[in-house]
Structure 1
């Protein structure tokens, strides 16, 4: 599980940074990529990255401002030409379906794979055997949502030495034991999963927020997350401006991370007024003063999401 930022600017792109998009690469977990927001130029950023559109499984749109979704029509149209033939599902606020379908209809774009658009009002937007994605409404000028990606707990490791003594080799019986089932050994003994299965590993939690002021919903979505991705549009000296435009400062992002008890904070969605490295470093320093484990999101850098190393007792 890795984060890869394709755009970290707010509002408009600059020569240094593109507008908002972040990928969650899940190659080991499910051999796919999930995308959160798709600002203009996102498909160009993907071409310069190790990501492949053919692996794209889900797109989650936080809100309908252009710097978060104007890249969708082009990306959807190009995906098939880059080997994408599997279904693609896009989640987002109400109005997303009309935007996408109108764009594709008027441009007479031909989509050669199954495309599904799911509009939501928060809550659980996706769940399968391995992941659950929850969403909640934040505080912005238009409906803006955050997403909490929860990796479900993983089964513990099987004790190969014990299994070998019972004459059990890798195969179907391994799978049953992994699921917690009891099996009959080749010697005719009943073997219970609890005898050979280690403690389960706690799944990771990644919270990615859309544009927002500081609010309780952000803290709830980020509760005990391994990673929080939070906008930091302004330095706190512009807190009044941030509030007026329904955005957050770097300090406010750090306060949310600290209150929520997250492990690591990534700052993103920087105002284009912050052009130099020195100006960006001020954003990080402001956040670090409140929450030490804060860092700036850098485009075209892979950030592994580590497990905290805790088993479930």
Structure 2
């Protein structure tokens, strides 16, 4: 008989250990990171270095394939994992030393034309499908008990992060504004997927949701010219596994099946460029004053 995938055995396990959402104040940039696998020196130079050394959030998908006694590999069958993400909010606020120096609100979420979106970062020379069905993340163990077949495991990981400049020029007041708040919250859906071969349709075997958020406020010292970060909320939240595909299909599952672009990483890059380099409204909103009710101890 042909190798048969037993969809009833599909599952995704949360194998994350040591990951904690946090903020680090480097000498040149503020870093939002997940602690485990974070390069905290990335904010000590300009341009900023790479924050992610390795994945902080880790999951493992698994499924069983039935086989006969004379089948010793899974043939053309492909099994992998893919993620989508949805931003709840994603903004940075800058303010002057005093009210008359104004403030700037940078709404990066407004730069995302697709939300939720595909959250897959392919490597050099890789396609999106190459990344999803990467054999380097696959472990296949042939077994004969209790049934002959293959126990297949797939590894998946992520490490959301930001490098945030400390200063931003307010063109309405002509004054340099300083980082006052960084806020980012997003949901993630990780899917265990398969297809019979490289040209076959993608089938969703199950999905696992998780979330991460950072809300951090900054105050500045007149004496040292350096910031101090106060975390108002920082979390990595483990979700639950649900077997099978959503019925009816939702936006995220449709993205997975079609591998629809643009990706979250590409949109993030475009939003950063639109604000910091092109200063494009409405992503960038400038004011001649501090935000209403702003902290009077911001720059002391």
TM tier relative to shorter chain: under 0.3
Q: Which TM-score applies when normalising by structure 1?
A: 0.23
The structure where strand makes up a greater share of residues is 2
The structure where helix makes up a greater share of residues is 1
Which structure's relative contact order is higher, taking Cα pairs within 8 Å and 6+ residues apart? 2
Q: Which TM-score applies when normalising by structure 2?
A: 0.24
